[in-house]
Chain A
Amino acid sequence: MSNAVVVRQLTKRFGAVTALAGVTFDVADGELFGLVGPDGAGKTTLFRILTTLVLPDDGEARVLGLDVVKDLWAIRARVGYMPGRFSLYPDLSVRENLEFFAAVFGTTIDEGYELIAPVYKQIEAFNDRRADALSGGMKQKLALSCALVHRPDILFLDEPTTGVDAVSRREFWDQLAHLKATGLTIVVSTPYMDEAIRCDRVALVQGGRILDIAPPRDIGKRYPLPLVAVRASERYRLLRALREMPNAQAVYPFGDELHYTDRRANRSATDIARELETQLRANGFPDATANPIEAGIEDSFMSLMRSSETESPNVGAA
């Protein structure tokens, strides 16, 4: 199996800001690969380099076996790109936008119809509506159709679900799963950690670096310390009480619980949970419960952020 994307030590600076600091990873043919991280992590810069819109300062990148610097025209014909901000022409209709993107790539809607149909059919009834009059979810579907109409071999989606409600996000990921089933390679970025679970593999990105790359279900298994989920009715008071525990390494709210990381790597999470529950119940939290848990992607992301900050020489620069 070959790799659709090969990135080696890719670096990009904008003035004093290092957007990408030596990033290395591969994406396999047909893979659904996620880049997960906050604004400013470097995700957009990476997409712009891979789609040949920005030149790297250092390192190299190949897309479909082609070099992003030397072979830009060959790459451009074969990639689909949905930028973070909508790329649509607001004063053109749905149909006109699609025709325009097809024409730019020397093709027609009919030729691409089979691939775009599952997405496009949902907005086809609004063919004559101007793009600026569409809802957020419909714009997203049109932008995806436009990125697919020339039947690319690889699709780059930069935060396609940002600002979109939970239901539309779920539907969008269902569509990506469908596209992946046709054999398309997809690289997608998101700030929503819960979406990472839908990818084959994810890269956790922060401050221009990749903190970890793994299948989503494996990332939590690498969590280095015992992790316990704690509940009690007075959550904010509980949060502050847990932070005061002598062995607390980190305490964060997670949904309706708090996740408590203990600094004693040699103790089992089960023991620590039992110990915490006893202490809390004796100290003003009669309904407290504590249970050992496996880390999720967000737990791991925060743990990796904390350790990369302590290693970094520029602590406090943020």
Chain B
Amino acid sequence: MSGTSQNRAIDARNLTRRFGSFVAVDHITFDVGAGEVFGFLGANGAGKTTAIKMLIGLLAPSEGKATVAGFDVATQTEQIRRSIGYMSQRFSLYEDLTVRENIQLYGGIYGLTDEQISSRTAALLASLDMQSMADDLVARLPLGWKQKLAFSVALIHEPKIVFLDEPTGGVDPITRRQFWELIYSAAANGTTVFVTTHYMDEAEYCDRISIMVDGRIAAMGTPRELKERFNAPTVDEVFVRLARPGAGQRGAA
């Protein structure tokens, strides 16, 4: 690899986390380039959440190291928090605040000035076509709108990297695709996107994916490379074969 850590958004080397005798994340090594859409896949319990918590500075590694936006996850957590955005399905927006209040709140949390907050609030409402809903409570919005708003709010401080934890659960297929167009557009502007999903067709939208099994990265590459390597028609099939050896054959029988 000739790339330097400067143009890598994420660089993890032997990153490991133990809980007692249990190794949740077991020496994972990978990097993600600037502007890349990286799919972080794995079965429930494979260690994805623990790995993400280390990358966003919420959990200290037991061993190994990682940099995110050039900052060390073990020692520079404050700088990392300013350089990343985070969105998950469970924890994102405040339901009992309005759309505008949520945007302003997050702008404040991320340390934007009043001027920045007011100009970005206007720009964000316009780009999502949500001006008419600006003063509605978030609780009243359809799920798809909440997801788009949560994504845009996670980008309000123009982070280098945004982490999306199962961002599209529960919405209709058109809304799901509109969400992915927001992702593409952010990536086209240079934002790195790190995303987890249970929709295997969405895995195919990523530039590269990794598949975690039992705390380790069992495979990594472009969706096409992985399909060729495993001689499988879809990423779903690759996933099933890796995550549960033998399950693929059983399903085919």
Interface set of A (CB-CB < 8 Å, partner B) = 37-41, 135-137, 162-171, 174, 191-194, 206, 235-236, 239, 252-256, 298, 301-302, 305-306, 318
Segment 175-219 of B: residues with Cβ below 8 Å from A: 175, 177, 180-181, 184-185, 187-188, 198-201, 204-205
Distance A164 CA – B198 CA, assembled complex (angstroms):
7
* Residue numbers in B under 8 Å from A301 (CB-CB): 172-173
CB distance from A185 to the nearest CB of B (A): 24
Q: Cβ of A170 and Cβ of B188 under 8 Å apart?
A: no
Q: Cβ of A253 and Cβ of B240 under 8 Å apart?
A: no
Q: Cβ of B177 and Cβ of A253 under 8 Å apart?
A: yes
Q: Could you show 30 A-B contacts with beta carbons less than 8 Å apart? A: A39-B143, A39-B170, A136-B44, A136-B45, A163-B166, A163-B198, A164-B44, A165-B198, A166-B43, A166-B200, A166-B240, A167-B243, A168-B43, A168-B44, A169-B198, A194-B236, A206-B172, A235-B205, A236-B187, A236-B188, A252-B177, A253-B177, A253-B180, A254-B201, A255-B223, A256-B205, A256-B223, A301-B172, A302-B174, A306-B174
> Which residue of chain A lies nearest to B251 when distances are taken between CB atoms in the complex?
A170
Distance A184 CA – B79 CA, assembled complex (angstroms):
57
* Residue numbers in A under 8 Å from B185 (CB-CB): 236
Asked, given contacts A166-B198, A167-B247, whether A38 binds B170 with beta carbons under 8 Å apart, the answer is yes
Asked, given contacts A135-B45, A256-B204, whether A39 binds B171 with beta carbons under 8 Å apart, the answer is yes
Q: Cβ of A165 and Cβ of B247 under 8 Å apart?
A: no
Q: Cβ of B240 and Cβ of A193 under 8 Å apart?
A: no
Interface set of B (CB-CB < 8 Å, partner A) = 42-45, 142-143, 166, 169-175, 177, 180-181, 184-185, 187-188, 198-201, 204-205, 223-224, 234-236, 239-240, 243-244, 247, 250-251
* Residue numbers in A under 8 Å from B175 (CB-CB): 38
Q: Which of A192, A194, A236, A256 sits near B224, CB closer than 8 Å? A: A256
Distance A78 CA – B172 CA, assembled complex (angstroms):
33
Most buried by A among B44, B204, B205, B235: B44
CB distance from B43 to the nearest CB of A (A): 4
Q: Cβ of B45 and Cβ of A167 under 8 Å apart?
A: no
Q: Cβ of B224 and Cβ of A191 under 8 Å apart?
A: no
Distance A236 CA – B183 CA, assembled complex (angstroms):
10
Asked, given contacts A254-B201, A255-B204, A318-B142, whether A166 binds B173 with beta carbons under 8 Å apart, the answer is no
* Residue numbers in A under 8 Å from B250 (CB-CB): 174
Distance A236 CA – B185 CA, assembled complex (angstroms):
8
* Residue numbers in B under 8 Å from A235 (CB-CB): 184, 205
Q: Which of B171, B201, B244 sits near A194, CB closer than 8 Å? A: B201
* Residue numbers in B under 8 Å from A252 (CB-CB): 173-174, 177
CB distance from A26 to the nearest CB of B (A): 25
Distance A252 CA – B42 CA, assembled complex (angstroms):
26
* Residue numbers in A under 8 Å from B177 (CB-CB): 252-253
